[in-house]
Structure 1
Amino acid sequence: MTQLANRGRGLPEVSPTSRSRFRWPERVGYAAAAVLFLYGAANVYWALGGGGFPFGAEDANPEYSAFEHTPASTLAPVLAALLLPSAAVALMMALPGRRRVPRNVLLGYTWCFVAVTLAAFADFRLLGNLAYALLLRFGAINWTVLNQFFLVLGVGLMAVTALAYQRRLRDACGSCGRTDGEPDWTAPEAAARWGRKAVRIAVIVPFVYASTRWAWALGIPLGISDKLWEEGKEDHLWYWGAGLATLGALGALLTLGLVRRWGEVFPRWMVGLRGKRVPPLLAIVPASLVALLITIAGVMYIRLEIQGKFDNQSEDWGTTVPEMFWPLWGAALAAATLAYHLRRRGRCKRCGRG
């Protein structure tokens, strides 16, 4: 079918060997269904009294949870009731042909499930553990964090399944998402313009956050009380905070590569790689992951503020207010990454559009 469609449009045909490399839109739904079903079954086990439930009152750090006092007997059935139908929805979106369930119901359910699950069950510990791993500190990883990673994996596969399903509905290429009439904003020149604006935001927000942590490490209690600063000083907390902030600042500087030439061609100081083309996925995959984790962390801080979990907010605003802007950082980084992808995607090897 792809060969006939391409021939009718005057586009290059795709060989059977090449087609085998572009099957992910057809397969990702089955992977999503399997992961969500398995995790849903695990929650059925926990709902029936099995040990090891990772969320709510059983959380290793329940103060971060949206369900701090909710027992497994209540929360596990809720999760099972979310995950098992989601597995069925993923399977329906993956199967070829028309479904009896309206497409808007499938897609509406999917995006609500993605938003609710990430906001309610994932938090900043995912980002924090990634940062600590880069600093070679692995002690903070616990059973709850591992389950959050697995849950985010399932949700991510569900989101990609919906993306592939939407492409199929509008007769777009499953691999690149393009149709014969692409909107102007996806053109490389347009993407370069709005991508630069997104990068500016994605650089400014983390530097505002980092400035507070650097100030604390330098002995300046910016945005916190003297008492809190002294308590953190005794535990050397501010030095670790400065280290994490520095990682964020370095990540912000790397974001500039999404609009600079060194993000497309390795610079000359990189011995063995200089002058070679930077593989787009080398930037797109980590940037997309970080954008997701940053957004999750920022939403958690906003949720905790709404729940009234922060004491002495007027005195210690520096501990929470900068993080509440992280969803803006995550959205800007995601937009900058999308612009980079649009600029560098070139001609599709599956459908021949470019």
Structure 2
Amino acid sequence: MNPANEKNVSSALPDQSETSTLHWWKRWPDWVPYATIIWTLAYGVLGLYWWAGGQGFPLGLVNDPGAAHSLFRQAAAADGGLLIACLCLLGAMAMLLLNRKARGITRAIMLLYAWSAAMVLCFAIPDPRALIGMAYAPVSLIGAVFGQSLHYLDFFTWPVVNQYICLIGGLLWAATALTYQRHTRDACRYCGRNKGHTLRRMNVVTRLGRWATYAAILAPLYYDITRIAWLLGIPFGITDEMLYSLQASDADWAGAGLALVSIGGAFLTHGLIKPWGESFPRWFPILGGRRVPPALAVIPAGFVAILLTVTGIQVILEFTMSGDFQNWGGTTPLLLMPVWGIALGTATICYYYRRQEQCRQCA
């Protein structure tokens, strides 16, 4: 072989030394199926435990008085535990088939099962308490600085912790489904690129990400205005009686705190399309000028996007049944949560694809 050609071929292949030193999170297509099957089997064992009469079944109003907003508020340990065990066993069997490259109807069935499991775990089991637990974290921290306690740990009862566990399981199933989907369409499992990957497609992703980011920034603005107005003593969209009640319980301060968290989140969301979302600013302590790891933005933004969407859907369902228009300032801003969540999720996905560099696996 011509030495020049040999040099070109070797440069086109991924450097084995670099590949071996990749961080574990960059090798997620290799380990995520194993993590998924471990999670599935472990949760199936919990289902058997609950079915056998064990304590701690996390679903249903009988075991969780705060499950009034849950889709599974009528669930019981006897039937629910057995159903969980059966579904997890079926999921473990499906995971064995996901390791094989299938075509046609078999591929479609496997993808349908995997994505359905991910959707149920991410969007059906969590309820608004999961979002409240995340949103009140910075509010509680600020309150602690000024000597006020919101009893933050009271939010994290076992049923709420179970929602986070199921959310992690759903993300594992989604990652497994994505890996299988890429593998069976002859694309790279790491980056998803194949021969159909074009610059035009990336331009579409860039434009979509820009519009989705602006939508995610503007969606909570209505909520922020109402909560800050209440803190200032302006009964914007609520009755005077409700404003006095909020002030008496200090709920106006909590609402304003959530509005400030939302404003801070909007600033961080803007980073999904700004240069400082890819490299830390020079003035940033220690990390100034360094590359921002994509996972640092993708993982928290993805979590928040899912919880916003879940909460927003449940708020819409409750609003259609109650129809409380007297205090419209307290309810109607929450109806934009699904828009906020979907827009943030879309912007995050576009950011992920835009940040992809040359793949070290498929070169």
Q: Counterpart of 2:282 in 1: which secondary structure?
A: coil
Change (3 A) 1:121 1:280: closer
Deviates more, 1:332-341 or 1:112-121: 112-121
CA distance in 2, matches of 1:76, 1:183: 48
Output the amino acid matched with 2:44. Answer: G
- Which residue of structure 1 aligns with residue 248 of structure 2? 234
- 2:162 maps to 1:119: no
1:31-180 equivalences under 5 Å are 31-57=35-61, 58-93=63-98, 95-98=99-102, 102-134=106-138, 135-136=140-141, 137-180=152-195
Q: Counterpart of 2:120 in 1: which secondary structure?
A: helix
Tell whether the 8 Å contact from 2:124 to 2:310 is kept in structure 1 after alignment: no
Deviates more, 1:232-241 or 1:220-229: 220-229
The offset of 1:16, in angstroms, is 6.4
What is the RMSD computed on CA atoms of the aligned residues?
2.5
Deviations 1:78-100 (A, max 9, x none): 3334333223323321x245499
Identity %: 38
Deviations 1:129-188 (A, max 9, x none): 11222333333111111111111111110010000000100111111111122155542x
Q: Counterpart of 1:193 in 2: which secondary structure?
A: helix
- Which residue of structure 1 aligns with residue 292 of structure 2? 278
User: Which runs of 5 or more structure 2 residues have no equivalent in the other structure?
Assistant: 1-7, 142-151
Change (3 A) 1:75 1:304: farther
CA distance in 1, matches of 2:169, 2:153: 23
Tell whether the 8 Å contact from 1:49 to 1:73 is kept in structure 2 after alignment: yes
CA distance in 1, matches of 2:89, 2:328: 41
Change (3 A) 1:20 1:267: closer
CA distance in 1, matches of 2:9, 2:65: 59
Q: Counterpart of 2:12 in 1: which secondary structure?
A: coil
Deviates more, 1:18-27 or 1:199-208: 18-27
Tell whether the 8 Å contact from 1:126 to 1:293 is kept in structure 2 after alignment: yes
The count of corresponding residues between Structure 1 and Structure 2 is: 341
Output the amino acid matched with 1:158. Answer: W
- Which residue of structure 1 aligns with residue 207 of structure 2? 193
Deviations 1:208-242 (A, max 9, x none): 22112112222222222333322222211121111
Q: What TM-score do you get using the length of structure 1 for normalisation?
A: 0.87
1:325 counterpart (325, 332, 336): 336
CA distance in 2, matches of 1:108, 1:262: 38
Tell whether the 8 Å contact from 2:122 to 2:171 is kept in structure 1 after alignment: no
Tell whether the 8 Å contact from 1:265 to 1:278 is kept in structure 2 after alignment: yes
Change (3 A) 1:152 1:247: same
The offset of 1:9, in angstroms, is 11
CA distance in 2, matches of 1:77, 1:252: 43
Deviates more, 1:153-162 or 1:275-284: 275-284
Output the amino acid matched with 1:63. Answer: A
- Which residue of structure 2 aligns with residue 257 of structure 1? 271
Change (3 A) 1:142 1:60: farther
Change (3 A) 1:166 1:158: same
Q: Counterpart of 2:71 in 1: which secondary structure?
A: coil
Tell whether the 8 Å contact from 1:30 to 1:91 is kept in structure 2 after alignment: no
CA distance in 2, matches of 1:101, 1:268: 53
Q: What TM-score do you get using the length of structure 2 for normalisation?
A: 0.85
The offset of 1:45, in angstroms, is 1.5
Tell whether the 8 Å contact from 1:129 to 1:141 is kept in structure 2 after alignment: yes
- Which residue of structure 2 aligns with residue 3 of structure 1? none
CA distance in 2, matches of 1:40, 1:222: 49
- Which residue of structure 2 aligns with residue 15 of structure 1? 16
CA distance in 2, matches of 1:248, 1:42: 36
- Which residue of structure 1 aligns with residue 361 of structure 2? 350
CA distance in 2, matches of 1:173, 1:348: 9
Deviations 1:296-345 (A, max 9, x none): 22122234345x3x4x6111233332222212211211221222222221
CA distance in 2, matches of 1:149, 1:338: 21
The offset of 1:192, in angstroms, is 2.5
Output the amino acid matched with 1:351. Answer: C
Deviates more, 1:10-19 or 1:83-92: 10-19
